[in-house]
Amino acid sequence: MASHTLIQGFPSTYVKLGILRSSSNGVRSWGSLVCRKKKRCKPLLMKINAVINDPSHSTIDFDDPDWKIHYQEKFEECIRLPHLSDNLNVTPRHTTFSLKKRVGQVINGIDSSEEKSDYVNDDDRALLKVIKFSSPTSAGAECIDPYCNWVELWVHRAGPRKQIYFEPENVKAAIVTCGGLCPGLNDVIRQIVFTLEVYGVKEIVGIPFGYRGFVDEELTEIKLSRDIVQNINLSGGSLLGVSRGGANINDIVDRIQAKNISMLFVLGGNGTHAGTQAIHDECQKRRMKISIICVPKTIDNDILLMDKTFGFDTAVEEAQRAINSAYIEAHSAYNGIGLVKLMGRSSGFIAMHASLSSGQTDICLIPEVPFDLEGQYGVLNYLEKLMQKKGSAVICVAEGAGQDLLERSNATDASGNVVLADIGVYLQQNIKKHFKDLGIPADVKYIDPTYMIRAVRANASDAILCTVLGQNAVHGAFAGFSGITVGICNSHYVYLPISEVIKSHRLVDPNSRMWHRCLTSTGQPDFI
């Protein structure tokens, strides 16, 4: 094998295998892919760095013939679900959850009702990843080792168990919705209540206005039952109200103890999940018998390891309507430009999917893909060409895109998130200025449908997802799990430890097939 210069920051394993090489002119290559401009190589270099920087990879010796076994064992350890029995002496009992309404027929001495089980076995698993990539250079490749070997990674299947760890008549269950509004909140609340009652729980309460409801003396519990929540899914918003931030973790746990809550269901996004993990940890320290379950709520679709979160499909449906309105406005005006800003602080899933679904977007800008505004390859120059060719254009931008172009602020919101500068207004002003300087009239219509999208009722797809997530949250609580969240992986419903899904945000992969499809649909170039 020819000798190669070791590239700073990359392990020698990659160089030895000829996967990563450096030449005298600074060209970096992985396999047959050659990167001559750092920005053009960003998606691939991000993948290499992801492999290198992932702590789960740092101790792997790829020369060990059993490295895959060791990796799987480490993954299984990380994905293990926290359980009440970890630090409490708890005894299970047979479940009170049953869908059998009558005794089965006895055929040949066998009760037919016993032939089919309503329950999920504790050892059931679902595959986290299902695509076997043949090369690290395959579109969207997610490789653990330089050869992109297939490694089976299994996660816990969600659903009702035969054994439960609570006496339903002694359970006091509480539901709280945190963060901002999201389509489907009422659907999840409704299904949690329904399923709790099927188990036989009599005392179900809602905590008003997020974590604030635990400590604000002026806010009282809301009694919940099937009759109360029966029709709340017919409207958007949350029956319980929402708020960001909250109170000190110890104060929240003190109130949970004082209220004798034994099951807590928390609906929220990444920040809420992190807060819930802290509450779970404190409850464990106090050796409390409580099951704390999260249901991932974010229209941004940015929860790690999950296919999608509830509210996302509805958000995309509403967002593409905004894009279509922007197209009508732009197409009907002389030199019209429609500009739509959508939610997506760190992840551009809504902007990408809405652009694909509408089919009217000429430029889609997301946080994961850097872009230049000025210059030969910038957005403004391309916009000029679009106006000359079509006479109108539509731009869709995620709120977190292009933040490197804006003045940064150290301000944070109640959830601790950095307050982003408004990329929509920035683009609108710069587009107007650019065409004014050229002496070309441009009619820019700016649409920000954020709060309209968040407040609508869940569509059919999200309503089904909310229904199953709500039911599985209750099943997980009665099974004795705590500090977990429910989600969907490859169309299967699963349980995941909260500690694993809050390690980072889920992002759009710039090398993925879906982003490539978006580029094909818009026809846009690289803006760098």
Binding-site residue positions: 180, 244-245, 269-272, 298-300, 343-345, 399, 451-454
Q: 353 and 398 share a domain?
A: yes
CA distance 94 to 167: 10
Q: 471 and 426 share a domain?
A: no
Residue 224 lies in a domain: yes
- Give me the domain span that covers residue 323: 312-456+511-522
Q: 243 and 324 share a domain?
A: no
pLDDT confidence of residue 421: 86
CATH of the domain at 256: 3.40.50.450
pLDDT confidence of residue 7: 31
Model confidence pLDDT, tens digit, residues 359-402: 999 999 999 999 999 999 999 999 999 999 999 999 999 999 99
445 touches 328 (CB < 8 A)? no
Residue 1 lies in a domain: no
CA distance 472 to 521: 37
Residue 41 lies in a domain: no
Q: 471 and 405 share a domain?
A: no
pLDDT confidence of residue 56: 52
Q: 379 and 415 share a domain?
A: yes
pTM, two decimal places: 0.86
Q: In whole angstroms, how large is the CA radius of gyration of the chain?
A: 26
- State the virtual CA torsion across 413, 414, 417, 422 in degrees, nearest 10: -30
Residue 87 lies in a domain: no
Q: 278 and 381 share a domain?
A: no
191 touches 471 (CB < 8 A)? yes
For every residue of 89-154, DSSP letters joined together read ----EE-S-----SPPPEETTEEGGGTS-----TT-EEES-----S-TTSTT---SSTT------E
pLDDT confidence of residue 43: 41
Instruction: Write out residues in the chain with pLDDT < 50, as ranges.
Output: 1-53, 55, 115
Residue 147 lies in a domain: no
CA distance 526 to 505: 24
Closest CA to 176 of 288, 88, 85, 259: 259
Residue 212 lies in a domain: yes
Domains in the chain, number = 2
Residue 201 lies in a domain: yes
DSSP 504: S
Binding-site residue positions for Mg(2+): 270
Q: 319 and 305 share a domain?
A: no
pLDDT confidence of residue 111: 54
Provide the annotated active-site residues.
Answer: 300
Binding-site residue positions for ATP: 180, 244-245, 269-272
Residue 40 lies in a domain: no
Binding-site residue positions for substrate: 298-300, 343-345, 399, 451-454
pLDDT confidence of residue 116: 59
CATH of the domain at 322: 3.40.50.460
Q: 339 and 260 share a domain?
A: no
For residue 300, the one-letter residue type is: D
Q: 382 and 515 share a domain?
A: yes
Half-sphere exposure of 259 (CA within 13 A, CB side): 27
Q: 462 and 424 share a domain?
A: no
Q: 167 and 252 share a domain?
A: yes
| Whole-Å CA distances, 474 to 38, 167, 230, 277, 316 | 49, 13, 17, 18, 28
Q: 275 and 354 share a domain?
A: no
